Structure formats: structure tokens, C-alpha cells
Chains A and B, each alone.
Chain A
């Protein structure tokens, strides 16, 4: 068992922390296109490349679509690849996200979460990565720059695990996290390099009748990305779902392993419970909002309210059992969505929670708060009002409008 290593404290904004993590993770290829608020990641990384601080092939592609394609192609050739984007860039990659997970390429991507157009908005919300929740990517959301740094390093281990082999996206809130300086503890270079290790490949059976490591190699020719007709396509999709199921355990394992060397753990890697054990009223949120929420919860507790918070760190795969246990005693739950799913009877996180708690005997009253769209600021008093509503709900046992908008002028 390793002792936690001596770490260095640096002043880093979220984007810089991500670039630093990539620098340390022995990444082979970075293919990326700039978009606000991710630009600092690629700019910082370019500096590392220009100063010879990394051994990475940096490809300044001509669009995000090509960024994902080149990353995918490099990955299946055997390289460890990283890319980053946000908002419209992620939307432009949409087609290729499905191809990347279908090709089982463990690309790691940082998303500086930002609103989607139209109208154009450069500020933070989760609509970009939420819109990709069906793409077969593992989705993690960081609460602060420290977690962004840690999660990128962990992402390589999670994706490259031979039972997973799925791409991983790590979300950090646009501007709130990407551009705000924080104290970030960084591990020594050798420690990170050892943690991520050298990429391994499973053996697959090829058309030559022999097994070979799963990558493009003239020594062992194999065909990847064929056309699979009605008789086979379905089976490949089932394989991807199986990989997602394995990811539930792998994410937890990697989280504990990382905790041993860094001293930092994010709940169990899937969810983080904050004063939830005996909470009667609780909220669920993703990303940086959790930071403010924790302060609000502390304040409420001081006033005798049994308040709690569930921060969802992993949205895909959805940690169903873990969520069910975490909110088993909660009576009223507010699920916060920093994005909107038009015509969908509430946001995606709300839908996920209502659905997974449907069969639980004592499931809580669940309401939805759509908030923060386009970088709309959410103050502690806004967040406190959520708990006030939850307490009302406890008393009346009934809610008129389960889907609400927080901070909207109406």
C-alpha cells in the first residue's frame, strides 16, 4: 500500500489544470480545435509542446469534427489520445462521438461545459455534454479545478481498462471552473506516469484466424469499422452496454487507487454524498454548483434543517444502485438540471432520477429545477429557496408544478 506522495500546490484555473494533467499523463496524440472556454487548454498545451516539455504529437486540426476523427484514428492505431472542446464544437463532433465509442477507442476529452446556440452564448451550462448522453461515452463532472485535474488522470485508466475500452469525457463548468484560479495540488510527474501506465490492448480474433492486439498494425492486419447489417449491428451495441456496466466498478476502483496516492477521493467516484445519511430534504446537482450548495446545506443544518446534497459525479454510466441507497431516507428531493430537454417533461437528470426511483417502496417526492442556462448566476439565496420549497413539500405532501425554473425572469 502506497503512502500519499508529496504534492505541489499550484495556482491553476480549470483549463490550466487540465492541460497540466495531460502533460503528465504520457499522452501520445492531442488533436484539437479551439473554442471558448476551452481555449486555454489547447494554448497551454501548445506551450508545453513548443518548449519540448512533452513527447506528444499535437495536431491543430481544422474543425472539431476532424479533432474527434483524428483522435479516434490515432487511438485505434495504438496512441493514447486526448482532445478538448465545448458547446458547438462538441455538437459538431456528434456523429463521431458515436463512432468513437463504437470503435471502442478510449479517447479522453475535456469539456469546458458551455451553452449551445442559438442564440450564441459562451457561458457555462451542461447542455453540450447532456446532449451527448446517448453516445456511449463515460461522462464525469468535476466540482472544482482540483477535481478536473484528478479526473483527467483517472480518465485514462478508466477508459483504457480492458473490460471497459470506452471513451471518457470530463466536464468542467465553462468560465466558472475553466477560467477561475484555484489552489490545485498536483502530483509529481513520475507518480502520474506510473499511475496511468503504458496502454495495453486486448487480443482479438482477426480474419487471418489468429488473435492479435487490438490496434492497427501492419504485422497483424485487421479491419475496423466495417458495415454491420441487420444480422450483427445489434450485438455490437450490446457489447458497448456491457462495457458501460463494467465501468461502474472500474470508476470506483480507480477512484480508490488514486485516493491512496493523492489523499483525494470523490465520494466513491460515482456519487458524493454530503450530509445525506439522515437528510430529510436533499438536492442533486452536478459540477461547480455543488460547491455553493455545500455551504447552503451547512447553513441550513445550523438552523436545524435536515438538509443534504447528492453530487452526481458520474452521469454515464448512471450509478443506479448507489443513488438508490444514498437517497433511501430522503423524503423530498430536488433534482437540478443545468440544461433543458425541450418537450421532455423535465431535464435529463430529473428524468433519470424519477425513473430509477420509481420502483423503490419509499421513494421521495421529486421536483426538478432547471437553472443556470447560458451562465445565469445562481446565488446562495436562490439555492436556499429550493430547500424552502422542499420543506413545504414535506408538509403539504403535494407539489403543483414539479418542474420549475430557478433564476428565470417571468
Chain B
């Protein structure tokens, strides 16, 4: 995702950032990907708390968590901390 870099007249002074990092998807960093067994998951949301990237979120309207693969770097903390071993890390398949 290359964007054309702006020239010196177009950017704000003092390095005021112009983009949120939510536009920078780090999901393609991963080698392993978390796979969750919804049957084993107790919705304790501990994975959502420990994720260094905030890639797991709780959605009360769905009464469920969701792993955002756009940002998950595949560190496996969620799998390691899950009290019921509901999450397993698997090698990400190249499905392109």
C-alpha cells in the first residue's frame, strides 16, 4: 500500500501526523494465525485484554469476540493465555 508522498508545502508543520495507524494493516506480518473453537470459548475476553495489538474485540451486540485479522500479528499470546485452550495457532495458509 504505497501512497504518493506529499511535498513540503502540502504537509502540516512540526510533523503533525495526518493518518491514523488504523490505515496501516499489520495483519500480513503473521506466520501463525489464531483459530478459535467457539464451543470451547467461554467469552471471558482475556484474549481481548492481552492482545498487544488490540486485534481482538468484544462486541456485546453479537455477544462474542472477533479477531481482526487485519491487525493480528500472530504472536500467540491469546492462545497461550486462553484458560480453556479454545485458541490454537496454525500456520497461515497462502490462500491468495
Q: Which residues of A contact B (CB under 8 A)?
A: 76, 102-105, 165, 202, 204-208, 214, 222-226, 228, 231-232, 234-236, 238-239, 242
CB pair A214 B7 closer than 8 Å: no
CB pair A222 B11 closer than 8 Å: no
Q: Given A204-B12, A205-B12: A235 and B7 within 8 A (CB)?
A: yes
Query: What CA separation (Å) do A179 and B63 show in the bound complex?
Result: 74
Query: What CA separation (Å) do A234 and B15 show in the bound complex?
Result: 11
Query: What sequence of 0s and 1s flags, for each residue 1-22 of chain B, a beta carbon within 8 Å of any chain A beta carbon?
Result: 0000111100111111111100
Q: How far is the CB of B19 from chain A (nearest CB, A)?
A: 6
- CB closest residue in chain A, given B23: A207
Hey, which chain A residues are within 8 Å of B17, CB to CB?
206-207, 222-223, 226
CB pair A104 B14 closer than 8 Å: yes
- CB closest residue in chain A, given B19: A207
Chain A interface main SS type: loop
Query: What CA separation (Å) do A234 and B13 show in the bound complex?
Result: 12
CB pair B13 A228 closer than 8 Å: no
Q: How far is the CB of A103 from chain B (nearest CB, A)?
A: 5
Q: B15 touches which one: A205, A208, A236, A238 (CB < 8 A)? A: A236
Q: Given A235-B7, A235-B8: A228 and B18 within 8 A (CB)?
A: no
Q: How far is the CB of A174 from chain B (nearest CB, A)?
A: 32
Query: What CA separation (Å) do A104 and B13 show in the bound complex?
Result: 7
> How many contacts between A and B, using CB within 8 angstroms?
60
CB pair B13 A214 closer than 8 Å: yes
Q: Given A232-B5, A238-B8, A239-B8: A207 and B20 within 8 A (CB)?
A: yes
Given contacts A224-B14, A224-B16, 9 further A-B contacts (CB under 8 A): A103-B15, A202-B13, A204-B13, A207-B20, A214-B13, A223-B16, A223-B17, A235-B6, A239-B8
Hey, which chain A residues are within 8 Å of B6, CB to CB?
235
Query: What CA separation (Å) do A239 and B6 show in the bound complex?
Result: 13
CB pair A224 B15 closer than 8 Å: yes
CB pair B20 A205 closer than 8 Å: no
**Total number of B residues with any Cβ neighbor in A under 8 Å:** 14
Query: What CA separation (Å) do A214 and B15 show in the bound complex?
Result: 11
Q: How far is the CB of B81 from chain A (nearest CB, A)?
A: 31
Query: What CA separation (Å) do A67 and B69 show in the bound complex?
Result: 46
Query: What CA separation (Å) do A207 and B12 show in the bound complex?
Result: 11
CB pair B7 A205 closer than 8 Å: no
Query: What CA separation (Å) do A102 and B8 show in the bound complex?
Result: 14
Hey, which chain A residues are within 8 Å of B12, CB to CB?
204-206, 214
Hey, which chain B residues are within 8 Å of A207, CB to CB?
17-20
CB pair A205 B18 closer than 8 Å: yes
Q: Given A232-B5, A235-B8, A236-B8: A226 and B15 within 8 A (CB)?
A: yes
CB pair A225 B14 closer than 8 Å: yes
Q: How far is the CB of A243 from chain B (nearest CB, A)?
A: 8
- CB closest residue in chain B, given A101: B14
Query: What CA separation (Å) do A204 and B19 show in the bound complex?
Result: 13
Q: Which of B37-96 contact A (CB under 8 A)?
A: none
Hey, which chain A residues are within 8 Å of B18, CB to CB?
205-207
Q: A235 touches which one: B11, B16, B19 (CB < 8 A)? A: B11
